Amino acid sequence: MSDLVMRTGMLIRRPAAEVFEAFVDPEITRQFWFTKGSGRLEAGQRVTWAWEMYGVSVPVDVKAVERNARILIEWTGPNGATQVEWRFEPRGERATFVTITHSGFSGSVEEVAREVIDSTGGFSLVLAGAKALLEHGVRLNLVPDRFAEGVPLGPASLRDAAVGFLTLVASGKVGEAYDRFIGPSFRHHNPFFRGDATSLRAAMEANARENPQKTLEVKQTLEQGDRVAVLSHVRQRPGDPGASVVHVFRFQDGRVVELWDVGQPVPKEPVNENGMF
């Protein structure tokens, strides 16, 4: 693990309580950062943040919340889990200096450097968006406009592309998922359908119509070369124990050209005390 950290900050001319609330309440945060959050930030909870315009979502483990003072989360980056901390320092009664620190980077020197650079740029946009919203009531759309043509699908973002595809499909946006991520020579290995892209797409669309409340929670991802594996907990409807599903993607020129999927139902009374995830 690298000792290198990302740190950025911004003065927001609003009281600390108001600025703090903007980061723990997803209904406010979605106006300047992600587009959907599954719940408020509370210590010990796991929430999911989604950037629907990019087809990307990420599970977030909330490690600590100190009211009006500090937030600490852990999420998964390209090379493993990293930590993000917000600190809110009052500057008088009407201003707050927000410091964001991102740490725990792993990988080669080049990989860590790339993550730190990307993190610095990303969180600087988040702070600028929060400042505009809280001080002036203006939504600058900095995050969605950062990649106006969609997330670039280079080698460093294949993991995001795989998760993005699954997230869109699970939310019923099958056509958009195919348009954004599937390559022209795509084939798959699901034994219940013919192996071409059209047959699998039709099956996914039928499943979306039958299960409009379907959810997918990504648990682990692995990336090696042109392959990405994603372990997810998939539920077809509320109250459904769901299934543990592994999707294996093969990419070519930034597009999915081959897909494998295997699943195992989650039993209501599992014997294994370690759980399936």
Which residues, other chains included, contact 5 with Cβ-Cβ below 8 Å and sequence gap of 6+? 101, 102, 103, 105, 116
Residue 152 has pLDDT above 60, yes or no: no
pTM comes to 0.58
Using pLDDT thresholds of 50, 70 and 90, give the confidence band for residue 85: very high
Q: Are 226 and 250 in contact (CB under 8 A)?
A: yes
Residue 274 has pLDDT above 80, yes or no: yes
* pLDDT of 149: 56
Q: How many CA atoms lie within 13 A of 179 on its CB side?
A: 9
**112/133 Cα distance (integer angstroms):** 31
Could you read off the pLDDT of 220-271 as tens digits, one per residue?
999 888 999 999 999 999 889 999 999 999 998 888 999 999 999 999 888 9
Residue 153 has pLDDT above 80, yes or no: no
Top-level CATH class of 6-146? Answer: alpha beta
Domain with CATH 3.30.530.20 in the chain: 6-146
**61/126 Cα distance (integer angstroms):** 19
What share of the chain has pLDDT > 70, as a percent?
Answer: 95
Residue 155 has pLDDT above 60, yes or no: no
* pLDDT of 156: 45
Q: Are 132 and 140 in contact (CB under 8 A)?
A: yes
* pLDDT of 154: 45
Single-letter amino acid, residue 189: H
Question: Tell me, what DSSP letter sits at residue 238?
Answer: T
> In the structure encoding, which two tokens stand for residue 233, read together?
């907990």
**225/98 Cα distance (integer angstroms):** 38
Q: Containing H/E element for 60?
A: strand 56-66
Could you read off the pLDDT of 31-46 as tens digits, one per residue?
999 988 999 999 999 9
Residue 187 has pLDDT above 70, yes or no: yes
Residue 108 has pLDDT above 90, yes or no: no
Domain with CATH 3.10.450.50 in the chain: 155-265
Using pLDDT thresholds of 50, 70 and 90, give the confidence band for residue 67: very high
> In the structure encoding, which two tokens stand for residue 164, read together?
């993005």
Q: What is the mean pLDDT of residues 137-145?
A: 89
Residue 150 has pLDDT above 70, yes or no: no
**156/254 Cα distance (integer angstroms):** 10
pLDDT averaged over every residue in the chain? 90
CATH architecture of 155-265: Roll (3.10)
Q: What is the mean pLDDT of residues 165-193?
A: 92
> In the structure encoding, which two tokens stand for residue 176, read together?
């958009």
Using pLDDT thresholds of 50, 70 and 90, give the confidence band for residue 94: very high
H helices of the chain, in order, are 16-24, 26-29, 109-136, 142-146, 158-170, 174-181, 197-210
Of 65, 72, 22, whose CA–CA distance to 42 is shortest?
A: 65
* pLDDT of 30: 93
Q: What angle do CA 46, 47, 53 make, to 5 degrees?
A: 150
